[in-house]
Structure 1
């Protein structure tokens, strides 16, 4: 059915859904798998439909965003590869992907381990003598922020302030509220000014970081990045580079605490991303190029279509017993990191960060346990802890 019998956005904005969105997503997937929200966009929540749309040519980037002309944050998105198609998307992706490579990430593994170990020293001090630690603030956020900052080339003294910008921009994109968009616009202006200065500094004195590599792509490549494309790329990388991975690491810690018997291998990481990937649905609009006849209903041509990743990743048609955490069965069918030409460029970085951090948490604190329920971020597009309180069990140190 495609009638508006379920108001998914209202249901997902409840405190209960912030803690556990999956009952709402299951209801949406089974009762209204092609759902027109009161906000005007359509949510597609069955796995087969979602995968086909992500892999095919039935969706295109919007030519403009509603109200983008009045908001710097929305206008900036139009210059990113996320909202490009065809040859233009391929050009931008190639220029970024040639330096944002698995090899570059692999070269950071030893550094990731050192960062993680140092943060776990702080956690150990907090847990000493019966104390508690908030792993979200003491591990997940600083770990992913430091790793991505070093990869990109953001100096240590600038990171905390720039990270605050991300929280405000993501909140505004999730709500669309004019007051929050005004804050996001100011944050976007600050970020673009900062990255303009950083790019100029790297042009004068290149370093072994991604900003320097992208500046070279602007200056040396015959199919170079224009300045606005460079700034939009750096802005977008900063927005998506660490906060979502921090949430994924939080979910990974919760999974390892719930399943201490399971090996922390690549299958475990893949199942964390399927079972509890932080992105509930896409914040990026995609436009139907024609009427779409889907398994769950019909989407009209010209409609703004979003993929409900978290619902698709627990679709029983694709994953038997989908609510059970079962490493080894997700494979490449899970959509937590996208699919097709817009598959997440940083997927290998996110996997590497979880693969480095989770075994270290278990090895350092084998008796770790939760110390009460996490607080949860209320943003409707994300399932993300705001706190992750832990303590040591009575049988561990």
Structure 2
């Protein structure tokens, strides 16, 4: 399974665990260790690779412990300090990680509460951990860029030299991103003056500054909206000259709820079938999750166009219409988590499809 699929499937299953996690130890066993194993590819059952309560006595420092250490040939490559789910990670939580980082050979430290992962290194002074992270990942709010960066820390991709060459760019990008976000929401006096002087020849009085503050803030929004619209048009494979004169209001758009539902279904049925065989196919009326990208092997239909009226179509009785299509049984959902209540239905449907595929292959082989 591709890394991208692993992280998205793992992320889709997090919400069902959240209400049951109240301690640091549960956070570690329910979220952090499974993440390291299922997504990042580290063997959490092998203490020579992932060690809990890792201790190293160096010089005058005795009994220093870190929650988790990822090792390679006995050397620390990543140190992980775990905190309880829900805790806001800040400077007061990095003290132990900071101390331990500074007395070991590790060049990477991670502070996490199971959802947020902050990555630290020693970019300013070798051997001394930076006070701010160079990368921060939220597993419930992943961008494609986050996934690309996170993949570099997986067991398969890990290369400390390549990671460290990216640290400066990531760190500065993170800080500049924060500055730009703040400026877009509330332009600073310096920025207002900078822009105003480029278009206004008079004296920048308080009234002029207030006037241009509103103009600049509004134009930020306009530029962003234009960029978003442009990217959407590119994604649809169109240029403005190719757009039809009339836009169909019923144009097929796969919603975030449909994608999330797809990943939930994929995580469920992956117990009995290769997840690479599970596909999503959208229509105007519903979104199908199919085995082998084949309409003859539907697993579930997601009627999620209206988020306030979620419904699913299941194939419980395995009956077919005269046309050959499979009959569905409709069920309402209060939220996407309720999909897990229909695991048995979906698994049974996949089993029936797999059996039918096997029979067809056998019959085809016998004809030969």
* Fold in common (TM above 0.5): no
> Which structure dedicates a bigger proportion of its chain to helix?
1
Q: TM-score, normalised by structure 2?
A: 0.28
Query: Which of structures 1 and 2 has the bigger CA Rg?
Result: 2
> Which structure dedicates a bigger proportion of its chain to strand?
2
Higher relative contact order (CA 8 A, sep 6+): 1
Q: TM-score, normalised by structure 1?
A: 0.27
